[in-house]
Amino acid sequence: MQGVQSRRDVLISAALAGSVLALPRYSRALAPAADRVSLRPPPDQRTFSSPAVEETLQRVKSRVGDAELAWLFENCYPNTLDTAVTLSELDGKPDTFIVTGDIPAMWLRDSSAQVWPYLSQARSDEGLRRMFRGLIHRHARCILIDPYANAFQRDLRGTQPLSWAVTDKTDMKPGVAERKWEIDSLCYPMRLAHGYWRATGDIEPFDEEWREAMALIVKTFREQQRRGAPGPYRFQRATEDSIDTLAGDGYGAPTRPVGMIHSMFRPSDDACVYPFLIPSNLFAVRSLRDLGVMTRTMHGDKALAAECDALATEVEAALMVHGRIRDAHGNAFFVYETDGFGNTLFMDDANIPGLMSLSYLGCCGRDDPVCANTRKRAWSENNPYFAKGTAASGVGGPHVGLKMIWPMSIIMRALTSDSDSQIRECLVWLKRSHAQTGFMHEAFDQDNPSHFTRKWFAWANGLFGELIIDLSDRKPALLSRAL
């Protein structure tokens, strides 16, 4: 069947043709390694500027002992602010729209993750707080349009979804760019809201519209427990690629309702094999508990807080029974997906949430034995999407195929490690992976980093910046040395 080109088709065809998607118009030729210059756009072409972020950039960069690593940090850390932000006003409130990079739409997941590394600077920068307020408002508006959508158009009344979503068989609404139901799409706005509140103490964006959106998230999670009915969400796409459509007449593979939340797609936007996606359910537990604290503290809404806590407890109990199995030595670990009938899939995907990122997201402690066993297993040949090549080792996923490593997985390994040798190894791999472009990519070939997808992928750039800032606090001696 010949269908509309998918995002995967567009990105991979560009890479395989020997070309890559063009950088934004401010790009220029790379300087020689001995004379690297900033690849940031000139100040008057940046989409947003924050004095606090600039101060952090210069302070942390001065602590990086490896010149190439410092250069990468300077290019990557501010990339979302430099290139991806549109801040305006809507209905008397700030309104922030953030593109992922080379795709002109806003993902609830990506936009939240892209600005996460700037949270610690928001308390001292009113302009940055306004940007965050605008994004929290935009998230609420998007969720109220359709809690089952993963990506949205800039014009919330727009009727032109992304090119690969035009003929999707689903209940497409104005303003939606793509409608793939993913649990994490609703977890990320909760995580950002909680993180912003904790970092600043600011309660301005948490108005009645936001409260309505949060209540709708809880309602949607309840619907997708599918206790007595499959719920309102269905999705099919005309495609030759099974990861872009759903079986079962658009409802996905059959399940036995056990209390977990169904997710039809993964954070990669790829279809689940089994609809109980364990990392996303764990993320939902964490996010619901944070939302319960927020709504109880800020609004005195005991009813919604109690519902958040009850749902989190219910999902967690199901996870402990159905989301874990044991290896041949009796050590428990989380699986990636299951169906409630006892069928499980073990793998990991570089996108977040995944099994490698559970402690990073606060779903479990770093020293929790089940979490540690899971992380170790995911970074091994037990994971079919673990790749070990001459350039690097790392995790990929079905999104761009085998032997393609996502830098995000290497970054995540370093962020969740206390081992100097592991972290140093990851930094060396990240230096190799950028293929002299000065930025992180979506994925690169395990043996040939010059074969990569997505030159402009702001989430990966920001996550790399977050790693360097983390190491400047946690491992300053390691960061101060040349690699």
SS (H, E, C) the chain: CCCCCCHHHHHHHHHHCCCCCCCCCCCCCCCCHHHCCCCCCCHHHCCCCCHHHHHHHHHHHCCCCCHHHHHHHHHHCCHHHHHCEEEEEECCEEEEEECCECCCCEEHHHHHHHHHHHHHHHHHCHHHHHHHHHHHHHHHHHHHHCCCCCEECCCCCCCCCCHHHCCCECCCCCCEEECCCCHHHHHHHHHHHHHHHHHHCCCCCCCHHHHHHHHHHHHHHHHCCCCCCCCCCCCECCCCCHHHCCCHHHCCCCCCCCCCCCCCECCCCCECCCCEEHHHHHHHHHHHHHHHHHHHHHHCCHHHHHHHHHHHHHHHHHHHHHCEEECCCCCEEECCEECCCCCEECCCCCCCCCHHHCCCCCCCCCCCHHHHHHHHHHCCCCCCCEEECCCCEEECCCCCCCCEECHHHHHHHHHCCCCHHHHHHHHHHHHHHCCCCCCCCCEEECCEEEEEECCCEHHHHHHHHHHHHHHHHHCHHHHCCCC
What is the structure's pLDDT at 35? 57
- pLDDT tens by residue, 432-463: 999 999 999 999 999 999 999 999 999 999 99
Residue indicated by tokens 């806590």: 309
Cα–Cα distance between 380 and 410 in angstroms, integer?
13
Reported as a pLDDT band with limits 50, 70 and 90, residue 9 is low
Range of the domain at 119: 86-384
- pLDDT tens by residue, 54-99: 999 999 999 999 999 999 999 999 999 999 999 999 999 999 999 9
Assess whether pLDDT exceeds 50 at residue 384.
yes
The last residue of one of the domains, among 384, 417, 437, is: 384
Assess whether pLDDT exceeds 80 at residue 288.
yes
Residues 71 and 130 in one domain: no
Question: Can you read off the two tokens belonging to residue 267?
Answer: 């954070």
The last residue of one of the domains, among 330, 356, 384, is: 384
Residues 395 and 325 in one domain: no
Residues 201 and 234 in one domain: yes
| pLDDT average, residue stretch 207-233 | 97
| pLDDT average, residue stretch 141-150 | 98
Residues 231 and 286 in one domain: yes
Structural domain count of the chain: 2
**Residues contacting residue 423 through CB under 8 Å, at least 6 positions apart:** 414, 417, 471, 475, 478
What is the structure's pLDDT at 8? 54
Give burial (CB, 10 Å; 0-12/13-18/19+) of 165: buried
| pLDDT average, residue stretch 308-324 | 98
Cα–Cα distance between 443 and 152 in angstroms, integer?
24
Residues 175 and 36 in one domain: no
| pLDDT average, residue stretch 409-435 | 98
Cα dist. 199→30, 231, 362, 363 in Å?
Answer: 37, 37, 16, 19
Q: What is the CA radius of gyration of the chain?
A: 21
Phi-psi region of 227 (alpha: psi -120 to 50; beta: other; left: phi over 0): alpha
What is the structure's pLDDT at 16? 41
Cα–Cα distance between 253 and 247 in angstroms, integer?
6
Cα dist. 436→32, 71, 360, 430, 452 in Å?
Answer: 9, 11, 29, 11, 12
Residues 156 and 21 in one domain: no
Could you tell me the CATH number of the domain that includes residue 192? 1.50.10.10
Residue indicated by tokens 């009938």: 341
Residues 238 and 132 in one domain: yes
Assess whether pLDDT exceeds 60 at residue 382.
yes
Packing angle, helices 108-115 and 183-200, rounded to 10: 30
What is the structure's pLDDT at 235? 98
Give the percent of the chain with pLDDT over 70: 93
What is the structure's pLDDT at 25? 32
| pLDDT average, residue stretch 165-173 | 98
What is the structure's pLDDT at 29? 40
Reported as a pLDDT band with limits 50, 70 and 90, residue 132 is very high
Phi-psi region of 460 (alpha: psi -120 to 50; beta: other; left: phi over 0): alpha
- pLDDT tens by residue, 271-287: 999 999 999 999 999 99
Residues 160 and 288 in one domain: yes
What is the structure's pLDDT at 1? 33
Residues 169 and 267 in one domain: yes
CB–CB of 460/44 below 8 Å? Answer: no
Assess whether pLDDT exceeds 80 at residue 17.
no
What is the structure's pLDDT at 345? 98
Decide which of 12 and 311 is more confident. 311
Give the percent of the chain with pLDDT over 90: 93
Reported as a pLDDT band with limits 50, 70 and 90, residue 221 is very high
CB–CB of 171/98 below 8 Å? Answer: no
Assess whether pLDDT exceeds 70 at residue 32.
no
What is the structure's pLDDT at 14? 44
| pLDDT average, residue stretch 148-154 | 98
CB–CB of 464/72 below 8 Å? Answer: yes
Residues 188 and 227 in one domain: yes
- pLDDT tens by residue, 352-362: 999 999 999 99
Reported as a pLDDT band with limits 50, 70 and 90, residue 3 is very low
Residues 44 and 144 in one domain: no
The last residue of one of the domains, among 384, 404, 436, is: 384
What is the structure's pLDDT at 36? 84
Cα dist. 259→71, 215, 221, 273, 312 in Å?
Answer: 48, 19, 10, 18, 10
Question: Can you read off the two tokens belonging to residue 426?
Answer: 């990851």
Assess whether pLDDT exceeds 60 at residue 28.
no
Residues 93 and 152 in one domain: yes
